[in-house]
Amino acid sequence: MEMTLENLERHWMPFTSNREFKREPRLFVRASGMHYWTATGRKVLDGSSGLFTSAAGHCRPEIAAAVAKQLQTLDFTPSFMRGHPGAFALADGVAALTPQGLDHVFFCNSGSEAVDTAMKIALAYHLARNEGQRGYFVSRERAYHGVNIGGTALSGMVRNREAFGALLPGVLHLRHTLLPENRLTRGMGSTGAELADDLLRFVNLVGEKRIAAVFVEPIAGSTGVIVPPRGYLERLREICTRYGILLVFDEVICGFGRTGEPFAATSFGVTPDIITMAKALTNGAQPMGAVAVRTGIYRTIVDAAPDGAPEFFHGYTYSAHPAACAAALATLEIYRNEQLFAKGRELSGYFLDAMFALQDLPAVNDVRGFGMLAGIEIKPGKAPGVRGNELQAKLFDRGLHVKTTGDVAIMAPAFIASRADIDLMGSMLREAIAQY
Ligand SMILES: Cc1ncc(COP(=O)(O)O)c(C=O)c1O
């Protein structure tokens, strides 16, 4: 179908230069496996798994069939006071992948909702154990925790905050861990574990029993891939444990194999109290988010309430939507049957070789990466982000879809990628960046 400018106009696009897009639309009309197709029939290789969503490749028939069957059988069930089997089966499926002990799962519809849900769980948990004075949250500079008010307040990316006023009071930001000493380090840098001690400063600033939770992305993704320095997450864990602060890993990007294990918590050997997830949970085929919590958190909140009344006054009309559950169950089955996390782990070396090989280009400032996630940072142009935006447009025109943030191209191929796909990503990036 040909699109006219008029019918592009009415859709107010998120995180997009609407004026630029509507002058020069970049529309996808079809996808399969590692590829998208544009409205003019051009094939575009997907370098970012859509938006870190489609880890098993696009348009998996098993997922489509499961969703179709679900919608023809039971299209909707309220999740308040009612349920359907898929939600319980999926909670089991998710808990089988999370680190031991994180085995109760709350469903929502996006990563942003998962983050705000986790904030409310943390507050409710402390209140239930008579520590309701813990009203502070700690996150980190350069963090991205979605776009709801809670997550925006946790966010550490200035453009995502500056238009929205004072947001929440009582959010403290740790320094980010992107250190010049770790430039061009593959995997975890050796410098910076002590940055976790900022948390101790906050404890000393606001009081030992005032902080509810610390939110971190194990690898900060949306800001341009910042891999944690060696020892940093362990140190955060140790301080949280010492002061009764909940540690939340926001694994919306890292979850479901991106770091080579089901969750980055396992890859990095650090177990948080809460994990937020979304995106690859359904391979992107249905909107869904989830929050996994330690048994003790669930039990504390549930057991503190009178029997016969809801224990936690939170939930969404579409929490555990049957079609989303069906998509997620089919996705987890694909991950399991095709051993896709192991496949991603095996491909990671080849992928990171290809990405780090770009460091000889004069315009490349830094390359960072872990597992199947890498950031290629180019030197800024006239203003920060202008070149990055130009680069994603150029790459699209050459046949490669890449998510950029500022001047960083964030590469996150699906785990079904072939070595030839990775080679092609490397060569298209090289040609486009070489022009600067
Ligand atoms: C770490 C993290 N948290 C939360 C979100 C928000 O997820 P959503 O866009 O599904 O609301 C994202 C999205 O990229 C993310 O990377």
Kindly state whether residues 179 and 273 are assigned to the same domain. Answer: yes
Both tokens of 101, joined, read: 């002990």
Write down which residue in 303, 322, 337 finishes a domain.
337
Low-confidence ranges of the chain (pLDDT < 50): 1-2
278 CB near ligand 1 (under 6 Å): yes
Assess whether 243 and 327 both reside in one domain: yes
The pLDDT of residue 28 is: 96
Q: Are both 363 and 315 inside the same structural domain?
A: no
Tell me how far apart the alpha carbons of residues 383 and 13 are, in angstroms, rounded to a whole number.
23
Q: Are residues 247 and 111 in the same domain?
A: yes
- 10 Å Cβ neighbour count for 103? 17
Q: Give the residue among 222, 219, 216 at the shortest CA–CA distance from 185.
A: 219
Report the run of H or E that residue 247 belongs to, with start and end. Answer: strand 246-250
Q: Is the CB of 277 under 6 A from ligand 1?
A: no
Residue 42 Rama label (left phi>0; alpha psi -120 to 50; beta): beta
- pLDDT tens profile 210-237: 999 999 999 999 999 999 999 999 999 9
State both tokens at 114: 């998962």
Quick one: 50 and 76 in the same domain?
Answer: no
Ligand 1 atom nearest to 51, measured from its CA:
14
- d(CA 389, CA 300) in angstroms, rounded, equals 47
pTM above the 0.85 mark? yes
- 314, 337, 360: which is the final residue of a domain? 337
| The pLDDT of residue 332 | 98
Q: Is the CB of 251 under 6 A from ligand 1?
A: no
Residue 252 Cα to ligand 1 middle (Å): 6
Are 170 and 185 in the same domain? Answer: yes
Rounded distance between C-alpha atoms, residue 318 and residue 181, angstroms: 46
Pocket test for ligand 1, best of 279, 286, 403, 404 (most atoms within 8 A of CB): 279
- Containing structural domain, residue 393: 5-56+339-433
C-alpha torsion sign, points 335, 410, 252, 179 = positive
Instruction: Provide the pLDDT for residue 1.
Output: 45
Which of 337, 368, 396 finishes a domain?
337
State the distance from the centre of ligand 1 to the C-alpha of 370, rounded, in angstroms. Answer: 19
Find out whether the beta carbon of 145 lies less than 6 Å from any atom of ligand 1. Answer: yes
Domains in the chain, number: 2
Give the SS3 label for residue 308.
coil
The response to whether residue 287 sits with its C-beta less than 6 Å from ligand 1 reads no
How far from chain centre, in Å, is Cα 222? 8
Tell me, what's the pLDDT at 5? 62
Ligand 1, atom 14, residue with closest C-alpha:
222
Instruction: Tell me what pLDDT residue 211 has.
Output: 98
Nearest CA owner, ligand 1 atom 8: 111
Specify the CATH number for the domain of residue 128.
3.40.640.10
Do residues 125 and 205 share a domain?
yes
**83 alpha carbon to ligand 1 midpoint, in Å?**
26
Place of tokens 């929502």: 108
Q: Which residues pair with 186 in a beta bridge?
A: 369
CATH number at residue 350: 3.90.1150.10
Q: Say whether both 343 and 273 belong to one domain.
A: no
Q: What is the per-residue pLDDT for 3? A: 60
> For residue 48, what are the contacts with CB-CB under 8 A and spacing of at least 6?
401, 402, 403, 410, 411, 412, 413
The Cα–Cα gap between 302 and 273 comes to 17
- What's the half-sphere exposure (Cβ side, CA atoms, 13 Å) at 11? 13
Whether 422 contacts 413, CB under 8 Å: yes
Check pocket membership of 222 for ligand 1, CB cut-off 6 A.
yes
Distance 258 CA to ligand 1 centre (A): 14
| Per-residue confidence (pLDDT) for residue 291, from 0 to 100 | 99
Q: How many A from CA of 362 to the centre of ligand 1?
A: 32
